[in-house]
């Protein structure tokens, strides 16, 4: 039998002071907030600087610079929206990442070369830049790849222990890049991107995330992607617990092992969100509250409306 929900205005009423309720709620929430802020404060781990990265993990800076020059770094092979060097992820065969287009173009080799061209006054570095520019793209890639491979073979990736080889100007370039990063002058050249105001950190963040140092820091604080890191923050703070379901999918198969995990998780979350939004129209799901009568904990007394349903 179909049922009809009676008009709420046809029921007996009771005094209810909405304004008083809001004012009391505002006072309680304000006091609670001030109390929580006073007791627990909030996290503010200082941002990693390029100078800090160079000091703490110089070999990582050199290896990252070599990978940018070789075109093997994460950003170099990423695809849209940064470049055309990767296919991008697919959602059930639909190339949505590619459809977004390359609207934030980033030349990975430029992450290393542009700051050096603009900042270095070191003669050896200038000679190396000239040699790099004079070489063919194939030669550049061969030099940088060989140097990157050589770095990977020595303990801790220490450039001083790399075996002799045909690396062209790459060791000089990466060494100069490390020196520039150590000087603290790298952020400005990457972030400003030719403008006075440096408010777009895309290039510096891509460079930082191409290295291992940022992730090592995060993993040490249990913030890795497979550690529910998406919803947490540094320190013992609640982070974004409302993102638990989104983060959950990354922890389980098939998402945890899929090359298209991000696209699949976003697709699933979009579907679930639409399901939640249009729940009133979904047969079965909309009847769950009738089948599991939690509502009787809320409406404990039977209240009869005044006017009968026609």
Site for another protein in 197-226 (CB under 8 A): 199-202, 205-206, 208-209, 214, 217-218, 223, 225
Decide: 108 and 71 in contact? Cβ < 8 Å.
yes
**What sign results for the dihedral spanned by CA atoms 133, 134, 138, 141?**
negative
Q: Which one, of 138, 203, 137, 148, lies nearest residue 170 by Cα? A: 148
**Which value, to the nearest 10 degrees, does the dihedral of the CA atoms of residues 189, 195, 200, 203 take?**
-40
Minimal distance in Å, beta carbon 126 to another protein?
A: 30
Is the CB of 121 or the CB of 195 nearer to another protein?
195
193: its two tokens: 């991107």
Site for another protein in 270-289 (CB under 8 A): 273, 276-281, 286, 289
Q: How far is CA 215 from CA 31, 71, 73, 212, in A?
A: 37, 20, 14, 6
Site for another protein in 46-75 (CB under 8 A): 46-48
Site string for another protein, 154-193 (x = CB under 8 A): ----------------------------------------
Is the CB of 5 or the CB of 136 nearer to another protein?
5
- Can you tell me the distance from the alpha carbon of 141 to that of 152, in angstroms, rounded to the nearest whole number? 16
Minimal distance in Å, beta carbon 101 to another protein?
A: 5
Choose which of 163, 283, 284, 301 interacts with another protein (CB under 8 A).
Answer: 301
249 binds another protein (CB under 8 A): no
Listed in sequence order, the residues at least 6 apart from 223 whose beta carbon sits closer than 8 Å to its beta carbon are 229, 232, 233, 234
Decide: 88 and 98 in contact? Cβ < 8 Å.
yes
Whether omega for the bond prior to residue 254 falls within 30 degrees of 0, making it cis, is: yes
Q: How many residues bind another protein (CB under 8 A)?
A: 110
- Only one residue has tokens 């409302």, namely 242
Minimal distance in Å, beta carbon 22 to another protein?
A: 5
Site for another protein in 98-157 (CB under 8 A): 98-104
Stretch near another protein under the rule CB under 8 A, chosen from 107-115, 140-148, 166-174, 297-305 = 297-305
Minimal distance in Å, beta carbon 3 to another protein?
A: 4
- Can you tell me the distance from the alpha carbon of 140 to that of 147, in angstroms, rounded to the nearest whole number? 11
Stretch near another protein under the rule CB under 8 A, chosen from 28-36, 61-69, 107-115, 130-138 = 28-36
Is the CB of 164 or the CB of 297 nearer to another protein?
297
14: its two tokens: 């009771």
Is the CB of 122 or the CB of 233 nearer to another protein?
233
Decide: 207 and 75 in contact? Cβ < 8 Å.
yes
Choose which of 118, 238, 254, 256 interacts with another protein (CB under 8 A).
Answer: 238
Minimal distance in Å, beta carbon 277 to another protein?
A: 4
Is the CB of 32 or the CB of 134 nearer to another protein?
32
Q: What is the CA radius of gyration of the chain?
A: 29
Is the CB of 135 or the CB of 243 nearer to another protein?
243
């Amino acid at each position: 039998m179909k049922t009809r929900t009676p008009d709420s205005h046809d029921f007996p009423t009771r005094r209810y002071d909405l304004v008083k309720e809001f004012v009391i709620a505002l006072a309680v929430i304000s006091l609670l907030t001030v109390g929580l802020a006073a007791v627990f404060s909030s996290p503010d781990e200082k941002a990693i600087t390029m100078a800090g990265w160079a000091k703490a993990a110089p070999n990582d800076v050199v290896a990252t610079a070599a990978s940018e020059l070789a075109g093997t770094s994460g950003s170099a092979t990423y695809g849209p929206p940064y470049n055309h060097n990767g296919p991008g992820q697919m959602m059930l065969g639909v190339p949505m990442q590619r459809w977004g287009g390359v609207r934030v173009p980033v030349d990975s080799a430029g992450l290393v070369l542009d700051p050096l061209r603009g900042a270095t006054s070191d003669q050896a570095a200038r000679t190396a830049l000239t040699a790099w520019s004079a070489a063919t793209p194939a030669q550049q890639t061969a030099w940088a790849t060989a140097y990157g491979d050589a770095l990977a073979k020595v303990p801790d990736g220490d450039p001083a222990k790399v075996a002799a080889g045909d690396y062209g100007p790459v060791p000089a370039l990466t060494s100069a890049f490390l020196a520039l990063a150590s000087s603290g002058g790298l952020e400005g050249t990457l972030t400003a991107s030719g403008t006075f105001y440096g408010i777009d950190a895309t290039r510096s963040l891509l460079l930082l995330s191409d290295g291992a140092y940022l992730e090592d820091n995060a993993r040490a604080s249990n913030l890795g992607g497979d550690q529910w890191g998406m919803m947490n923050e540094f320190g013992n703070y609640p982070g974004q617990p409302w993102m638990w379901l989104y983060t959950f999918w990354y922890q389980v198969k098939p998402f945890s092992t899929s090359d298209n995990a991000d696209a699949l998780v976003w697709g699933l979350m979009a579907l679930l969100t639409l399901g939640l939004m249009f729940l009133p129209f979904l047969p079965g799901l909309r009847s769950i509250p009738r089948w599991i009568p939690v509502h009787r904990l809320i409406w404990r007394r039977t209240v009869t409306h005044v006017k009968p349903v026609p």
